[in-house]
């Protein structure tokens, strides 16, 4: 899985960095949000707790997917600003099943 950043902008009103990206996942299924979240956090040298994947859309017949992510200035801001369903979707699979 390779992530190509298309757009990266700072949103000072919401204290976050907004990222649009393309995932190249040849011969693999669409990666999970949590796996993409880890890759984005590593790519931008930040904590995973500050990073949220807002969407991942697969393109039919192609080994690419488009997505959007937000990286907050602090983990507390992410918890406060992101909607509950987005926070749940960004948890690892084991944690979601236990909820």
Q: Rounded mean pLDDT of 60-89?
A: 94
| pLDDT tens profile 1-48 | 999 999 999 999 999 999 999 999 988 888 999 999 999 999 999 999
pLDDT at 79: 95
Q: Per-residue confidence at 90, pLDDT binned at 50, 70, 90? A: very high
Residues 6+ apart with CB under 8 A from 13: none
pLDDT at 96: 52
- Report the percentage of the chain scoring pLDDT > 90: 80
Instruction: State pTM to two decimals.
Output: 0.87
Distance of CA 6 to the CA centre of its chain: 14
The answer to whether 36 and 4 have CB atoms below 8 angstroms apart is no
Q: CATH number for the domain including 16?
A: 3.30.70.330
The pLDDT mean for the chain works out to 92
Number of domains in the chain: 1
Query: Domain range spanning residue 47?
Result: 2-98
């Amino acid at each position: 899985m390779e992530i190509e950043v298309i757009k990266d902008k700072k949103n000072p009103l919401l204290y976050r960095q907004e990222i649009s990206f393309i995932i190249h996942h040849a011969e693999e299924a669409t990666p999970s949000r949590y796996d993409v979240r880890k890759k984005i956090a590593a790519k931008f040298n930040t904590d995973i707790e500050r990073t949220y994947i807002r969407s991942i859309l697969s393109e039919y017949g192609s080994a690419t997917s488009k997505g959007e992510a937000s990286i907050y200035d602090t983990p507390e801001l992410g918890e406060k600003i992101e909607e509950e369903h987005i926070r749940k979707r960004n948890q690892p699979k084991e944690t979601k099943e236990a909820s």
